[in-house]
Structure 1
Amino acid sequence: MLKCFHLRTFLAKGLNICRCLSTAQPAADTPPPKAKKDHRVYMPKLAFERKVKTSARAMLDQELAAKGGITDLYNWQRAQTSRPSFELLDGPPYANGVAHVGHAINKILKDFIVKSRIALGYRVRFRSGWDCHGLPIELKISKTKQVTDPHEIRRFAREIAVSSMDSQMNSFKRWGISADWSDPYLTMDKKYVAEQLRAFAKLVEQKLVYRAEKPVYWSPSTRTALAESELEFNEEHKGFAAYIRFKMVNLMTEELKLNDLVKNKPYLFYALAFTTMPWTFPLNNAICINENAEYLAIRFDDTKSNPVVEMYVVAAEMFEKIKEKLDRPAQILARFSGKQLVGKFYLNGWCADVAHPIYHGDHVSTKSGTGVVHTAFAHGFEDFAIATKHGADVECYVDENGRFTRNMGHQLEGKSVLADGQEAVLKLMKKDVVHASKFVHSYPYDWRTKQPVIVRCSKQWFIDLSKVSQKAVDLIGDISVTGGDSDLSSSLINMVKSRPSWCISRQRAWGTPIPALIDQLDYEYTSPNFINRVADLIEEKGDDAWWNADVKELLQGELKDEFALPETDEVKKCTDIMDVWLDSGLAWLCARRGYEDAKDQKPADVVVEGIDQFRGWFQSMLLTSSAIQNSAPYKRIIVHGFCVDDNGKKMSKSLGNVVDPDTVTDGSLNGMPAVGADGLRLWVALAGAETSGESKIGRKVVEDIDNKIGAIRLSFRFLLGAASGYEGEKPKELRILDQYALRKTVSFANRCRQNYEQYKFRTVSNDSLQFIAHLSSQYIHHVRDRLYCDMPKSNSHMSAQFTMHRITEMLANSLSPILPHLSAEVLNHLPLLEEKKILRNELNYSEESLGVELDDELDAIMRDVIDYRASIHKLEGSKDPTSQKCLVLRLTDPSYSLMSRLQPSPVSFNSQLCELLGVSELRMDKLSDAEANHSDTDHTVEWAKTSRAYCNRCRKFTKSKEKDDEYCDRCREAFDKITQS
């Protein structure tokens, strides 16, 4: 049932894709049209709103998720067992707090992959996961509850993790994410933990796991060891820099050729060292120099009157910079090789009772500092390596709180090495402090507490990566690692190669236990059998079983004999837990437990995470998989970037620039438009896909997204309006303009398929916006006259309806992976569709599938037409409405013959060529041979005065001046038929 309106009532105000047919007034010599009346153009009634109200947005998205098959899409496609399989392995978000825009980028990008692979005909596996263990949850507990018992901490932590997971899952569903929501993997789940421990047993079996006293990054604020991936660098850290001297005891003047020997004065040699951690000076164990470098003995001019000649040993390369930094003129008294220093001894001013050695160190640079490196075995990685090389004892006198222990004496005991302890050291050692100043520099911080860390020797568990790293590097060669068009495999290679060991132990309660026993001498006992025993116990009794069990229960059967342990009351359970990166790093194994093909597990097809995961999940997955199964856990890595505000600034609560994804989808009181789940998804596609750089979001960005998705919506509204009332008839003849639009749409759909195959979601989105604009200017702009004013059920009218119906279907299906809610809404309004749910059919269109034949000369015709349009655009006065003018088109013979197919008569008012060129009257003629020979084109165009009058219905100059009728012949016939029906 068709309802007819005045033409203007349909057109959206400001709708750039379908402006009014012509709102221009007739030429001055033409009588004005009669007063407004109902001219009864063809116009169906539309239920598809041009804009969704903010108050209705969330409810509409929810309804469309159900009606459009978004909610049950994942389960539906899993039931399609004949399809080839594809797996996206989820890097689990942390189960702490609510979902933020960083989650939106990550999860929506993953959903683009899930939905596009379904569209490409795959059966996709995507089991969403959550990383549940770790320090942030424990810190949250400590803010509200005073608990120290591990059982209580774990109980509260579990509650927080479950609550956060539920909240985040609801947000993910709100965004239209398709996943296995009924069975997510949780790193705190007893089955996951048990499987993780069995994998750990395999690492122990390969002798890759060991416990040792080694320097690690230590967080005093959380009292635990940290991995490098848990650090962030504060470029504005405020500390102290100091030059301090160490008195040398056996460097003799006779060994050096002094330039200015002062008679009758004793000599003292000092090694001058520089550090940005002065708190380590009392803990000094050695000095390192570079034996291959040249060193100097220098004297500062301001010490010449001293009774003792004080000479300072520094690297020759740093002499000028040292003078400049200290602002003290100095002279060189001797030059000598670093080899002459190796084996010498010196005294530490803190404790002058023991002489310490000078060693060569490959790590010593003469490009910075002084070329003399103060070495504290317990507080530096190179320092510890020197101790190991020379068999020196390593003792740590800094406790887990980052405070000096009683071994340092009452003057330093209990003082924080990063605060009052540092100042105390400078004061107590002032006689040997040559220069000290406040210093701002880059320094590692605990990424969770945002507090500085230290390097501290402690007993920790490690995985020996020296036996695994090269294998992992070799495997990277077969992995695609991309961020946009950039190959980022070198980033992963560099991360893997630079790690000789992985500290996997943490001194907390909320995590996966390290199954081991510790005796009174602090010696550890563990084995694959013991670990597997604990795994079975946890799978049977829950993840608290380790904390609940006593040693006797754990040592049943042959295990006690295996360890040859003393009495069980002399051993205790290890209280360390595993690094959370080991938890999630085994997801390639633990998260797939129970899959129907788990016994024949292949690498995941793709993983998608932020660029920071090169030092985190990408690496931990690769290393564990390389060690345990000698293969990569994934075939492809896709990297994305991070969110910043619309001014490019990092988001911060203190700056007030944090964007809540709920305000993007549902609007806010400060005027942020509600763009719905699809608006958020379009932002991710345009700003977060195909890049590892920053993704801007803020009010301006969201308003731009609102405009873009609004234009897409209005385009669909026009197309649905055109297709509404269509009853499925095929036109006897498809007009050239319609054929052209169909060919372009098929080409667009195929480009979408190709780009989906290559994970180019930004390209798909930009191409879609450009295609819709092209569809507007090259098709809708020209076809609307025929659609509104031709007689319903005529071949020309059915041709337009058929075309727009097919375009709508192809366009909606092509956009379904990016904009599933809008696509579902469109498909539910489109008549005659057997399948109203999205992505139930493979995205695979061809011209043959259209059900109509396209003209063999279509491309040639449209190539010429586009040339003619360009020439018309260049004509003087071409900006005036073409409905007031007649176009004279003169063509060479081949073109004339081709265009005659579209306009058989030399003069026409309603030919296909008139429609294609958007004119009221077209006079077509041949160029003479002489004209053609002297022209550089195959056509000419010019304006002429029209011979017709203004038609009040179609608003074109197509009415015969000789007839006393307000309508042209076409409009009169159509009007009469409509009024009679």
Structure 2
Amino acid sequence: MFELLVVSKICEKCAYPAKLFFSTRASARDLKKYSHTIFLPKTKFPQRIHPGKRALLDDEIIKNNRFDELYNNQRLANKNGEFVLHDGPPYANGVPHMGHAINKVLKDIINRWHLLDGRKVHYVPGWDCHGLPIELKALTAGDSSNLSALDIRKKAKEFAERTVAEQKIVFRSWGVMADWDNPGGCYHTFDRPYVANQLEQFYQLYRKGLVYRKLKPVYWSPAARTALAESELEYNPKHKSTAVTLRLKIQNPPDDWGSDGNIYALIWTTTPWTLPANQAVAYNPDVGYSLVRGGRGDRYVVATALISSLAGLDGCVEPVLHFKGDRLKTLKYRHPLSGTSHSFFPGSHVTSDAGTGLVHTAPAHGHDDFLVGIDHDLPLDCIVDEEGAYTSKAGPGLKGLKVLREGNRKILELVRDDIIHKEEIVHSYPYDWRSKQPVIIRSSLQWFIDTESIKESAIESLKKVKILPTRNVEILMQQIEQRPYWCISRQRAWGVPIPVLYKDEEPILDRDLIEYYKGLVTSEGPDFWWKLSAGELIPEKLRSSMPTNLRKGEDILDIWLDSGLSWSSVLPGKTADIYLEGVDQFTGWFQSSLLTSIALQGKPPFR
């Protein structure tokens, strides 16, 4: 039997509640006769509101408290200076969730605190409306196989507009103080004035020499068929690759290396699919190398510090000769696929920490490889198309094979006689954060912002910005410091066009053209670039002086540039007191906003 304490009355002598005892075997009906003796607070408020009535109640509260009038009223009434909170645009994709709620409510708390302190609050909510996820949603709605760029843009805009309308209803229901009804009270990255301003800012970057077009290796998503910036990558720590240690026959070994057996350089790679693009082997002139005897009488060149880690490969245990990397500069080796002759070149990225101390170099498919190729005038030809398949330049029997699947397996088969070790490794590898598929490095003509020339000013400016949590300050500075350039072109349809005409591959852009494009945005809308021919994109007064056979570019601007330029459209002449977003935006909006602001106005957009 258990004791249940039920307050039925107060004992007059001791002022303590009397106790009632009963058995747990009592029936449910017996228990009910005590319910009226329990003293609980009485209220007319319902204990639970039916979900169907919640929205009606929210609307009633907002209406009765005149929330919709508050933003404009405080702009007119408050006189104690202005407080500016710039809204980072949420993506116009999906239903609002707890992350949205935390974001908007935190901002609203801050704004209302300053309002109560007598300040005039500047807050313009916005939406990031371009980009691949929205385009993919448009493409998955029905048959998309024959859609033109204009068709895709139409569907994508309709989807974004629906999402914005749905999200706005929810944000208003949370009581967030803003000018929701005025068309100018919110911003969208597809708005005509916003796009026109973005074209202007692109031209300003171009005029300053901070934006340029060049052939460079970039992260490429075969799944999405577009270039990616580093901020669009996520790293999968469980990615599996086939790694091989491969021998490359040296054709002209020095006389003092002896003549007994063949001599090979050993390379190690986790991307065998890049071997058809091999143009060189990189070494470090300051690293010590050794000639090591193998089990089959062959000899191999490896970094001295790595001999022990290679001991199990073909019996590589007996060093024959030691020398500095400089001895390799005159040597030639035979390509394992084409049979052509290639050279060894120094590379500062080569270390003796892992692998063999010799690095297979494919200039079109690696960042460090590309620099070696530029320094030594090597071919930069890309052997992979936009879908991640070999082109005819890769060699016979490879065209059309996907490099991350059957193409990689085919290469392993072709070089099997020169593989002295093969293994499956699990390691961190970059993935496209949208498609969740692995990316490759692929050289192509892209547009870049020269972050190298502005990063020092950007880092220095952060010393005057208050950043919370403070532990993220060093992370942000380090990311900017390590960023060599920013690829801002994308090979898609749903976005802001890169407003450039080309004569062959030479860009054509000037002040008269950009003013004409801005006028077309206003009159025709952002679709003007896809509606009009290259000839129609030239104002009549310039047509006689322009080169013939011009073509228009087909790339769009990176959506991080869309949102990163929001300060120039929403805050003309102002500096935001606060940018508030999740810490993931240290690689996203915070960084793109800072870099564009430093480049265009020489100061951060936020305090």
Q: Same fold (TM over 0.5)?
A: yes
- The match for 1:719 is none
Check whether the contact 1:202–1:528 (CA below 8 A) recurs between aligned residues: no
- CA distance in 1: counterparts of 2:191 and 2:14, whole angstroms: 82
- The match for 2:578 is 606
Q: Deviations over 1:532-573 (max 9, x none)?
A: 321221122211112222233322255446xx6432xx1111
Check whether the contact 1:201–1:532 (CA below 8 A) recurs between aligned residues: no
Which of 324, 332, 338 does residue 351 from structure 1 map onto?
Answer: 338
Q: Note the 1:338-487 alignment, pairs <5 A.
A: 338-352=325-339, 354-483=340-469, 486-487=470-471
- CA distance in 1: counterparts of 2:559 and 2:94, whole angstroms: 17
- The match for 2:498 is 514
Check whether the contact 1:287–1:373 (CA below 8 A) recurs between aligned residues: yes
Change in 2 beyond 3 A, CA 1:482/1:29: closer
Q: Note the 1:581-600 alignment, pairs <5 A.
A: 581-592=560-571, 598=572
Check whether the contact 1:298–1:312 (CA below 8 A) recurs between aligned residues: yes
Change in 2 beyond 3 A, CA 1:425/1:64: same
Structural RMSD (CA): 2.5
Which of 547, 553, 564 does residue 574 from structure 1 map onto?
Answer: 553
Check whether the contact 2:314–2:420 (CA below 8 A) recurs between aligned residues: no
Q: Note the 1:739-888 alignment, pairs <5 A.
A: none
Change in 2 beyond 3 A, CA 1:356/1:48: same
Amino acid at match of 1:611: V
Secondary structure at the counterpart of residue 581 of structure 2: strand
Change in 2 beyond 3 A, CA 1:52/1:153: closer
- CA distance in 1: counterparts of 2:409 and 2:165, whole angstroms: 48
Moved more, 521-530 or 626-635: 521-530
Which of 628, 631, 647 does residue 600 from structure 2 map onto?
Answer: 628
Change in 2 beyond 3 A, CA 1:152/1:44: closer
- The match for 2:223 is 221
* Runs of 4+ residues over 4 Å off in structure 1: 26-30, 43-56
Check whether the contact 1:480–1:489 (CA below 8 A) recurs between aligned residues: no
Q: Deviations over 1:159-213 (max 9, x none)?
A: 0000011111112122222223233101011110001111111111111121111
Which of 504, 510, 533 does residue 527 from structure 1 map onto?
Answer: 510
Check whether the contact 2:68–2:180 (CA below 8 A) recurs between aligned residues: no
Give the deviation of 1:415 after TM superposition.
0.4
Change in 2 beyond 3 A, CA 1:85/1:527: same
Change in 2 beyond 3 A, CA 1:194/1:55: closer
Which of 231, 239, 248 does residue 241 from structure 2 map onto?
Answer: 239
- CA distance in 2: counterparts of 1:402 and 1:44, whole angstroms: 69
Amino acid at match of 1:249: Q
- CA distance in 1: counterparts of 2:261 and 2:254, whole angstroms: 9
Amino acid at match of 1:334: L
Secondary structure at the counterpart of residue 307 of structure 2: helix
- The match for 2:283 is 289
- The match for 1:316 is 304
- The match for 2:112 is 115
Secondary structure at the counterpart of residue 295 of structure 1: strand
Give the deviation of 1:622 after TM superposition.
0.8
Check whether the contact 1:204–1:528 (CA below 8 A) recurs between aligned residues: no
Give the deviation of 1:100 after TM superposition.
2.2
The number of equivalent residue pairs is 578
- CA distance in 2: counterparts of 1:213 and 1:29, whole angstroms: 89
Secondary structure at the counterpart of residue 582 of structure 1: helix
Give the deviation of 1:349 after TM superposition.
0.7
Amino acid at match of 1:244: L
Change in 2 beyond 3 A, CA 1:103/1:29: closer
Q: Note the 1:234-273 alignment, pairs <5 A.
A: 234-254=236-256, 256=257, 266-273=260-267
Give the deviation of 1:472 after TM superposition.
1.1
Amino acid at match of 1:312: Y
- The match for 2:29 is none
Change in 2 beyond 3 A, CA 1:70/1:395: same
Amino acid at match of 1:333: V
Q: Deviations over 1:725-764 (max 9, x none)?
A: xxxxxxxxxxxxxxxxxxxxxxxxxxxxxxxxxxxxxxxx
Amino acid at match of 2:261: Y
- The match for 1:155 is 154
Check whether the contact 1:66–1:72 (CA below 8 A) recurs between aligned residues: no
Change in 2 beyond 3 A, CA 1:171/1:328: farther
Sequence identity percentage? 41
Q: Deviations over 1:210-248 (max 9, x none)?
A: 111110111101111111111111111122111111111
Q: Deviations over 1:438-476 (max 9, x none)?
A: 222111111111111100000111111222111111111
Amino acid at match of 2:507: E
1:331 equivalenced with 2:303 (yes/no): no
Give the deviation of 1:52 after TM superposition.
4.8
- CA distance in 2: counterparts of 1:438 and 1:549, whole angstroms: 52
Give the TM-score taking structure 2 as reference length.
0.90
Give the deviation of 1:47 after TM superposition.
4.4
Change in 2 beyond 3 A, CA 1:154/1:26: same
Check whether the contact 1:387–1:394 (CA below 8 A) recurs between aligned residues: yes
Change in 2 beyond 3 A, CA 1:398/1:44: closer
Q: Note the 1:69-84 alignment, pairs <5 A.
A: 69-84=66-81
Secondary structure at the counterpart of residue 626 of structure 1: helix
Change in 2 beyond 3 A, CA 1:558/1:336: farther
Moved more, 49-58 or 377-386: 49-58
Give the deviation of 1:435 after TM superposition.
1.3
- CA distance in 1: counterparts of 2:220 and 2:438, whole angstroms: 9
Give the deviation of 1:427 after TM superposition.
0.3
Which of 131, 139, 155 does residue 134 from structure 1 map onto?
Answer: 131
1:299 equivalenced with 2:293 (yes/no): yes
- CA distance in 2: counterparts of 1:29 and 1:383, whole angstroms: 87
State the structure with more CA Rg.
1
Amino acid at match of 2:581: E
- CA distance in 1: counterparts of 2:479 and 2:173, whole angstroms: 36
Secondary structure at the counterpart of residue 239 of structure 1: strand
Amino acid at match of 1:285: Q
Amino acid at match of 1:338: G
Change in 2 beyond 3 A, CA 1:501/1:559: farther
Q: Can you give the 5+ residue segments of structure 2 that lack an aligned partner in the other structure?
A: 19-39
Check whether the contact 1:343–1:358 (CA below 8 A) recurs between aligned residues: yes
- CA distance in 2: counterparts of 1:112 and 1:28, whole angstroms: 49
- CA distance in 2: counterparts of 1:24 and 1:168, whole angstroms: 55
Secondary structure at the counterpart of residue 288 of structure 1: strand
- CA distance in 1: counterparts of 2:63 and 2:458, whole angstroms: 44
Give the deviation of 1:108 after TM superposition.
2.1
- CA distance in 2: counterparts of 1:145 and 1:464, whole angstroms: 40
- CA distance in 2: counterparts of 1:529 and 1:466, whole angstroms: 29
Check whether the contact 2:68–2:179 (CA below 8 A) recurs between aligned residues: no
Q: Can you give the 5+ residue segments of structure 1 that lack an aligned partner in the other structure?
A: 1-13, 33-42, 304-308, 593-597, 636-981
- CA distance in 2: counterparts of 1:115 and 1:404, whole angstroms: 58
Secondary structure at the counterpart of residue 67 of structure 2: coil
Change in 2 beyond 3 A, CA 1:559/1:585: farther
- CA distance in 1: counterparts of 2:321 and 2:529, whole angstroms: 65
- The match for 1:554 is 537
Amino acid at match of 1:509: A
Check whether the contact 2:307–2:316 (CA below 8 A) recurs between aligned residues: no
- CA distance in 2: counterparts of 1:105 and 1:345, whole angstroms: 62
Amino acid at match of 2:376: H
- CA distance in 1: counterparts of 2:263 and 2:13, whole angstroms: 103
